[in-house]
Amino acid sequence: MAEVKLTQDKKDRSRRSALIGAAFLMATSSIGPGFLTQTTVFTSQLMASMGFVILISLILDVVAQMNVWRVIGVSGLRGQDIANKVFPGLGYVLATLIVIGGLAFNIGNVAGAGLGLNAMLGIDAIFGAIVSAAVAIFIFLSKEAGKWMDRATQIAGFIMVILMLYVAISTSPPVGEAVKRTVWPEEIGLLAIVTLVGGTVGGYITFAGGHRLVDAGITGVENLKQITISSVTGILVTGVMRVALFLAVLGVVSKGLTLDESNPAASVFRLAVGEIGFRIFGVIMWAAAITSVVGAAYTSVSFIRSFHPVIEKYKNWIIILFIVVSTSIFATIGQPVKILVIVGALNAMILPLALGIMLIAAHKTEIIGKVYKHPKWLTFLGALVVIIMAVLCVRTIATNIGGLF
């Protein structure tokens, strides 16, 4: 009996770790170098009204993630396989978009990791990127890569949130004004909403946590409650980090201090708490970037695993190759800004496509079974998010993409 109890306890701990790990994988995948820079830039432009942008983006994020995670969790299928069941061949289209976007953004993630080590320790950014890639590769060399990934994302997530809250408090931001403008903004930044939603649940990030739960075997209607809680937890972790960074930036710019345009996020930390702030920025930037490297590589490859048995057999080595290619591109030609911006627009467009597919799948019994009934209110809100994001993305791309060519 004692042995049975110990075995059950071990399974329960592993299960809890996977659920928390899935939430943090999603959260830390979204909290990358772009997250830090975008939040800083938009806050310096919109000031306290950025609170409204964050509120709206969080609502859209929660609706998108709850729909996607529930369909993946109940069906036990990954996104590409669900898409292929909705319409034959659609899964290959979705997988192609996800992998291209994930690879391009991973170049930026690797670059961010190098810059993080540069700020933290003063080492060369390219050398720092190579060292960071080696750390990420080490995780996937283990036979228990999933457990190592869960642990790494949880630790990194906690470190980032704690340090970010410390910096936010240090800047003494005008909290009252921030709360007021969160519900009554002076300016509504549509580009900011598109960018924040796309950066939080766009592209591969939409599926990161759900695919982790499939790999961990936590699927089916009986696990629906835990799956839903895990999906919302991931968004809340991202939200706490976003709000803390918003308040930190607001505290700095509201005092009339000017941010360094070449590295606005780093200058916030330096202006807030001096040279130690710059080192803290390095820690946060590195933690954000390295977890995004892991999340992008893992999730992107998970989109092609089911296409051939060879890919499934050597999945960890393909993930490692994904990281190596990203690092090599950054180390040899630097960060291709134009490509990153173009694929950034593409990544934002993936959300309405991906969420639209999930909403159709949510009402197909051959995908989710006959027991589960997807809530009508969640379908309605999900459809609303698809329409809103599609319209905003088209408007944003039409306004901004022409200047790239």
Tell me, what CATH number does 274's domain have?
Answer: 1.20.1740.10
Structural domain that includes position 343: 25-216+240-404
364: number of Cβ within 10 Å: 15
Of the listed ranges 66-75, 149-158, 274-283, 368-377, the one predicted with least confidence: 149-158
Residue 232 falls within a domain, yes or no? no
144 near 335, Cβ under 8 Å?
A: no
Rounded Cα–Cα distance for residues 336 and 43 (Å): 25
pLDDT band, very low/low/confident/very high, at 379 (cuts 50, 70, 90): very high
| Angle (deg, nearest 10), helices 79-86 and 205-216 | 100
Q: Among 400, 343, 340, which residue's Cα sits nearest to residue 192? A: 400
Residue 227 falls within a domain, yes or no? no
Residue 400: per-residue pLDDT: 56
Residue 86 falls within a domain, yes or no? yes
Residue 104 falls within a domain, yes or no? yes
Task: Give the pTM.
Answer: 0.86
Q: Among 75, 140, 393, 124, which residue's Cα sits nearest to residue 290? A: 140
Residue 364 falls within a domain, yes or no? yes
Q: Is the pLDDT of residue 265 over 90?
A: no
Residue 222 falls within a domain, yes or no? no
Provide the mean pLDDT of the chain: 84
Give the tens place of pLDDT for each residue, 301-334. 999 988 888 988 889 999 999 999 989 988 887 6
Percentages helix, strand, coil for the chain (3-state, rounded to 5) are 85, 0, 15
CA dihedral (88, 90, 91, 92) positive or negative: positive
- The set of residues, in sequence order, having a beta carbon less than 8 Å from that of 379 and lying 6+ positions away, is 67, 359, 362, 363
Rounded Cα–Cα distance for residues 286 and 291 (Å): 8
Q: Is the pLDDT of residue 26 over 90?
A: no
Residue 14 falls within a domain, yes or no? no
Number of structural domains, the chain?
A: 1
Residue 19 falls within a domain, yes or no? no
350: number of Cβ within 10 Å: 24
Q: Among 403, 322, 307, 397, which residue's Cα sits nearest to residue 352? A: 397
Of the listed ranges 46-50, 78-82, 336-340, the one predicted with least confidence: 336-340
Higher pLDDT, 119 or 13: 119
Give exposure, 171-194, as e/b (b: 16+ Cβ within 10 Å): bebbeeebeebbeebeeebeebbb
Average pLDDT over residues 345-365: 85
CA distances (Å), 349 to each of 97, 176, 196, in order?
10, 35, 13
For residue 215, what are its two tokens?
């790999």
Residue with tokens 């969640």: 378
Residue 319: per-residue pLDDT: 92
Torsion angles phi and psi, residue 204, rounded to 5:
-65, -25
Average pLDDT over residues 233-252: 88
41 near 264, Cβ under 8 Å?
A: yes
Rounded Cα–Cα distance for residues 345 and 352 (Å): 12
* Residue % of the chain over a pLDDT of 90: 22
